[in-house]
Amino acid sequence: MKQRLVYATVSAALIVLDYVSKQWASARLRTGPDIDVIPGLLRLVYAENPGIAFSMFNSGGQTTRWLLVSFSAATAVGVAVMAIRAMPTDWRSQSICALLFSGIVGNLIDRVQTGRVIDFIDVYVGTSHWPTFNVADSAISVGAVLLALELFRKPEPADVKSTSESTQNL
């Protein structure tokens, strides 16, 4: 039980960090000048995205908003179920779930409150820009990469035993 509490705490901390950073970005960057953190590479700018990654589905309509809210909520529930089903000692799965859950919920809060996700981190080189993102997007991206790596990882003998034990417990 203690292990699950650690991952839940990490997830909650990321959700709070995402929320606070978006509130700061909204208050400071919406009307103020952009902040060059590392000139030519990283700056903080205010942006709103009514869609999903890379501004897909960004019509801004109420139907799209609530479809994205519903999808995000269902996905967050699915990730929570995955975390509950994973062994508490399976730090890889628990870490992945904590990252994915916190990122999904962080952006879900924005969608419910305003219908748009606040983004403010702009990574660029010259005139080439990565799409502007936020803390929640970072958590989702890192969690997705780790999940992909985990899917291609060869199970260790202890993992096979843990998987069969967790299946028996269901």
Computed over every residue of the chain, the mean pLDDT equals 88
Q: Is 119 a catalytic residue?
A: yes
Helix 2-29 vs helix 135-152: angle between axes, to the nearest 10 degrees?
140
What strands, in cross-sheet order, belong to the sheet with 42-49?
A: 35-38, 42-49, 117-125, 128-129
List the catalytic residue out of 36, 119, 122, 159. 119
In this prediction, residue 53 carries a pLDDT of 60
**pLDDT at residue 165 greater than cutoff 90:** no
For residue range 23-46, list pLDDT tens digits in order: 999 999 999 899 999 999 999 999
**In terms of DSSP bridges, do strands 42-49 and 117-125 run parallel, antiparallel, or are they unpaired?**
antiparallel
**pLDDT at residue 162 greater than cutoff 60:** no
Range of the domain at 62: 2-169
Helix 2-29 vs helix 91-114: angle between axes, to the nearest 10 degrees?
40
Number of domains in the chain: 1
List the catalytic residue out of 18, 110, 122, 137. 137
Contact yes or no for 98/11 (Cβ under 8 A)? yes
For residue range 61-101, list pLDDT tens digits in order: 677 778 889 999 999 999 999 999 999 899 999 999 999 99
